[in-house]
Amino acid sequence: MPKRTESYQVALLEALKDSEEAAAYLNAALEEGEDAEALFLRALRNVAEARGITKIAAAAALNRESVYRALSAKGKIRGFRRSEHFCTLWACGLR
């Protein structure tokens, strides 16, 4: 049997553990034009997942469920306090 390759999501999350890679990934999401807000939110969730959402929530002094909700596919940056997103970025080690 051929060896299975690593899934894209697994490889992405591993790469996003690096701060420089995560910053470049978030910047690329912001540069996408029309869907920049939705893409940035998805990118921020990927970065948070790569670093552990529970750990991020604790470092940002936020409730874990609030972080999940704020970064959910249904979540909108306007729908939650922007400070939660900035706290998540800070807790990820990104400035």
CB 48 within 8 A of CB 41: no
- Burial call 54-68: b when 16+ CB within 10 Å, e when fewer: eebbebbebeeebbb
Q: If you average pLDDT over residues 15-34, what whole number do you get?
A: 87
pLDDT over 70 (residue 33): yes
| Integer Cα distance of 33 and 63 in angstroms | 31
> pLDDT (tens digit, 9 = 90+) per residue, 76-91?
554 445 555 555 555 5
> Residue 2 has which token pair?
């051929």
* Residue appearing with tokens 């990118």: 43
> pLDDT (tens digit, 9 = 90+) per residue, 48-66?
899 898 888 887 777 888 7
Q: If you average pLDDT over residues 5-14, what whole number do you get?
A: 87
Q: Check residue 25 and give its pLDDT.
A: 92
SS3 4: coil
Domain-by-domain residue ranges, the chain? 11-91
